Amino acid sequence: MPEPPPTPNARMICKLDSIFPLSEEERQVLEHLPVLVKRLKADQEIVSLGERPQQCCLVLEGLTCVYKLSYAGRRQIMALHVPGDMPDLHSLHLAVMDISIASVSSCTVGFIQHEDLRRVCERFPRLTAAFWRETLVDASIYREWLLNVGQRDAYTRLAHLMCELYTRLSAVGLTDERTFELPITQDELADTLGISAVHVSRTLQALRGDGLIETARKRVTVPSWSKLQEAGEFDPLYLHLQGRHAA
């Protein structure tokens, strides 16, 4: 649905608006929020555990991840964020970061000051609700990932993740027919799914062998959506892509 963004904030506004229709005034206010745009290479830290940021991050291009390390040094990626997402919106009300955020691919991100966000939320309570809702959808995704990691085998888990990414990228207009860019390594997929990189490799081969996905240099194509969806036990309900009043 959305066009390439003319201003940095457009991505965010478009996403908010799609499920929570904004008034012209609200849209204007958001449009004029000051944003500091930054380009990043792959694997750069954006915010770190323990910090007390004064700003929120907004993904404009590329892929970012939220992660944490166990004491044994194993990394769990607990979220992947696509353009339009705000990976650390929660820092608005949680003083200290309990996670780290990094770029996965090279990407461009924007930073919006907490005080600016707070100001617009005060003036427009509906925007508070819209941002709050965004953090609730994030939480819903964490829940689904817990189900994924806790109860599904590697094959189903990977299929599920592919379905989710396809769906979320689709929602922001970043899929092309039946394919999408997935600028991520198998190592990162492993940390996301809680399995080893070797096993990711084998599992991807299994999915390819079963004709559920095709991969060619960081690009995934889905020959049959319904088959992949079934293999991944994917029900998009938890993404809450319909607004409050939709079926």
Question: Which residues are near a copy of itself by CB under 8 A?
Answer: 50, 66, 68, 70-72, 74-76, 78-79, 90, 93-96, 98-99, 122, 125, 128-129, 132-133, 135-140, 142-147, 149-152, 156, 193-194, 233, 237-238, 240, 242-245
| Residue type, position 109, single letter | V
- Where helices occur in 152-224 by DSSP H, the ranges are 154-171, 186-193, 197-209
| Binding region for DNA (CB under 7 A) out of 27-35, 94-102, 128-136, 180-188 | 180-188
Cα 69 from Cα 77, distance rounded (Å): 9
Cα 65 from Cα 188, distance rounded (Å): 9
Residue 130 binding DNA, by CB under 7 A = no
Burial tier of 164 (Cβ tally within 10 Å: 0-12, 13-18, 19+)? buried
Residue 195 binding DNA, by CB under 7 A = yes
Nearest to a copy of itself of 44, 156 (CB atom):
156
Nearest to DNA of 6, 209 (CB atom):
209
CA 197 to chain centre: 21
Nearest to a copy of itself of 118, 218 (CB atom):
118
CB-CB contact of 208 with 159 (8 Å): no
CB-CB contact of 134 with 13 (8 Å): no
Binds DNA by CB under 7 A, chosen from 155, 166, 180, 234: 155
Binds DNA by CB under 7 A, chosen from 185, 214, 230, 239: 185
Residue ranges binding DNA (CB under 7 A): 153-155, 185-187, 194-199, 201-202, 204-205, 217
